[in-house]
Structures are given as structure tokens and as C-alpha cells.
Amino acid sequence: MTAITSELEPLYQAAKAAAAQAYAPYSQFPVGVAVRAISGQIYTGCNVENASYGGTVCAERNAIAAGVVAGVRQFDALMVYTPQEQLTPPCGICRQVIAEFFLPDTMIYSSNHKEQLQGWTVQQLLPEAFTPMYLANSTKVATE
């Protein structure tokens, strides 16, 4: 674990502010995320839970969706924030969505209220991800 750098400070602060808006009455596990577009613009999201658990949406997907609504198709950083002791990486479905919009060597960070930081590349979080890049490089399946 390392500390938040000055380059990552804006992402950390944005993710922390987003976590304060989380709707987590069931898990009591608020999560905030900030993603940075290639342009430098930051988009945020928080988890929004639902009594029908399948209707819950994670902070990572909400932040990415906010960027997509603004026309962004590629991001270069993602910061997860939780007010927990343990640093929390993205869940499985979020890893798949991250792989869709981030290059494999992009760093994905997790942070907490102690300003601790841990990072992984997209490739580490989801090796051999099934994405448009994967499809473009795969061979065509015979239709015979």
C-alpha cells in the first residue's frame, strides 16, 4: 500500500465525495468512484442499492456511464473509494465493464479514508478480457 500522490489527489477527492452520496441502506457499504477521461475530465459515480438486489448498480459502472453519456469512450484512470479499513477492488461485473473502456495497462486504484492506495492494471484484474479489442484480434469462427 502506498499514499495518494498529487497526480491522483483530484481523483481521490472526487471519489470520496461521490461515496458520500451512495445509497447503501442494505449493505451499509458506501462506494464512490472517479474516472478520468483521456481529456482530463473527471466523472463520478456511487453505488445505488435496491431491495431487489439485482437492481443494484455499482459505483464503477455509474461513473463510467456518466462519462459515456458525455461522449467519452476511453478513460485513463479509475479510483475506488470506500470508508473501510480494507482496500476494495472492483467486483467481477465492474471489471468486465472497465475492460471495455480502459486499455489493459491502465492502473485501477482502490483507496480508503486513511488515504491508503493500492493499484492493479486492468490486465491484472481481468486477464484475457472479452472486449472489442479481443474480438478484433480473434479469428473468425467457421460457419459450416
Residues forming the active site:
60
**Burial classification of residue 35, based on how many CB atoms lie within 10 Å of its CB (0-12 exposed, 13-18 middle, 19 or more buried):** buried
**Burial classification of residue 96, based on how many CB atoms lie within 10 Å of its CB (0-12 exposed, 13-18 middle, 19 or more buried):** middle
* Among 43, 12, 22, 36, CA closest to 116: 12
